[in-house]
């Protein structure tokens, strides 16, 4: 695979997956998404605030933010299918609240006056240039505002997964279904071995932000480009830009990352202008 990793053409077709997932969005999933967003971004921080949602995907987080009282949400995504899906999800579940949806890359978004909240869930590690994406996201936070991120953490198997994701995204068309079946079989077998019921696991999976296991597996296996980061490095990058960590939800790496990497969640505050 050659070419610019920052360009949509080199990326996994995230939007196609989110279009499929969006068909399953209902009030029950939305309530779970609202609950989960409120854990890292409570309503008192969102209420009457503006928010930029970078990499909006299905649009679920954008709707959740509006339901928690945001004054206006601007959703951007580099993938045309994600943009269309976000617009449809917002029209269906958030109207008449105030929102804008745009096809844009965070790496190229012109800086404006700044948003009270910049939110980006599981995105910046897929932009093809994580350091630049962190800087760009930070630049859009108004003084005194918040940056809310979810980012894959490093595991001992990162190199293996990068190779797999590249192949899944750019290899022969017959390969992804094969990899997916093997992964799903091994994953559910591992759950059974630890004494849990795999059927119940899949059934209860939406508790995780209202998401679907099948779509999340496809997203994990295909999510390319991929650049995980650990907390210390994130804080070292954002500290000099005037950010202090306010809340961290750290998830453990299981089985050395054999079944995927967990995402850490961060809320950082940008110091108010002196």
Ligand X SMILES: C[S@@+](CC[C@H](N)C(=O)[O-])C[C@H]1O[C@@H](n2cnc3c(N)ncnc32)[C@H](O)[C@@H]1O
Buried b (16+ CB within 10 A) or exposed e, 148-184: bbbbbbebebbeebbebbbbbbeeeeeebeebbeebb
Whichever of 50 and 120 has its CB closer to ligand X, that residue is 120
CB of 78 to ligand X, least distance (A): 4
The residue from 68, 77, 141, 151 that contacts ligand X (CB under 6 A) is 77
| Cα gap 42→35, rounded to integer Å | 9
CB of 77 to ligand X, least distance (A): 5
| Cα gap 79→29, rounded to integer Å | 23
By CB under 6 A, the residues from 196 to 225 that bind ligand X are 219, 223
Whichever of 116 and 216 has its CB closer to ligand X, that residue is 216
The torsion angles phi and psi of 24, rounded to 5 degrees, stand at -95, -5
CB of 99 to ligand X, least distance (A): 15
Does position 148 interact with ligand X (CB under 6 A)? The reply is no
N-to-C CA span, the chain: 47
User: DSSP class of residue 250?
Assistant: -
The residue from 5, 38, 107, 202 that contacts ligand X (CB under 6 A) is 107
Does position 265 interact with ligand X (CB under 6 A)? The reply is no
By CB under 6 A, the residues from 44 to 73 that bind ligand X are 54-58, 61
Does position 76 interact with ligand X (CB under 6 A)? The reply is yes
Q: How many residues contact ligand X, by CB under 6 A? A: 25
The residue from 122, 228, 257, 260 that contacts ligand X (CB under 6 A) is 122
Write the burial class of residue 57 (CB in 10 Å: 0-12 exposed, 13-18 middle, 19+ buried).
buried
> Cα 188 to chain center, whole Å?
24
Does position 126 interact with ligand X (CB under 6 A)? The reply is yes
Write the burial class of residue 61 (CB in 10 Å: 0-12 exposed, 13-18 middle, 19+ buried).
buried
Chain contacts with ligand X (rule: CB under 6 A)? 11, 14-15, 18, 54-58, 61, 76-79, 82, 105-107, 121-123, 126-127, 219, 223
């Amino acid at each position: 695979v050659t070419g610019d990793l920052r360009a949509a053409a080199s990326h996994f077709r995230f939007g196609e997956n989110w279009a499929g997932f969006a068909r399953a969005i209902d009030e029950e999933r939305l309530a779970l998404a609202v609950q989960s967003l409120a854990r890292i971004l409570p309503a008192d921080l969102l209420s009457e605030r503006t928010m930029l949602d970078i990499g909006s995907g299905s649009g679920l987080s954008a709707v959740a933010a509006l339901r928690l009282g945001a004054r206006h949400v601007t959703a951007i995504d580099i993938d045309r299918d994600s943009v269309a899906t976000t617009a449809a999800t917002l029209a269906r579940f958030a109207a008449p609240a105030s929102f804008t949806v745009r096809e844009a890359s965070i790496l190229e978004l012109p800086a404006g006056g700044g948003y009270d909240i910049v939110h980006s869930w599981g995105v910046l590690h897929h932009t093809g240039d994580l350091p630049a994406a962190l800087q760009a996201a930070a630049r859009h936070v108004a003084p005194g505002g918040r940056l809310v991120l979810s980012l894959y953490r490093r595991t001992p198997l990162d190199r293996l997964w990068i190779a797999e994701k590249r192949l899944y995204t750019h290899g022969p068309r017959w390969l992804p279904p094969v990899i997916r079946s093997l992964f799903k079989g091994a994953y559910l077998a591992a759950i059974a071995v630890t004494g849990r019921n795999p059927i119940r696991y899949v059934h209860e999976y939406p508790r995780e932000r209202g998401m679907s296991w099948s779509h999340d597996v496809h997203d994990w296996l295909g999510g390319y480009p991929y650049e995980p980061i650990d907390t210390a490095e994130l804080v070292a990058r954002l500290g000099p830009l005037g950010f202090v960590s306010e809340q961290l939800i750290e998830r453990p790496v299981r089985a050395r990352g054999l079944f995927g990497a967990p995402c850490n969640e961060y809320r950082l505050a940008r110091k108010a202008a002196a």
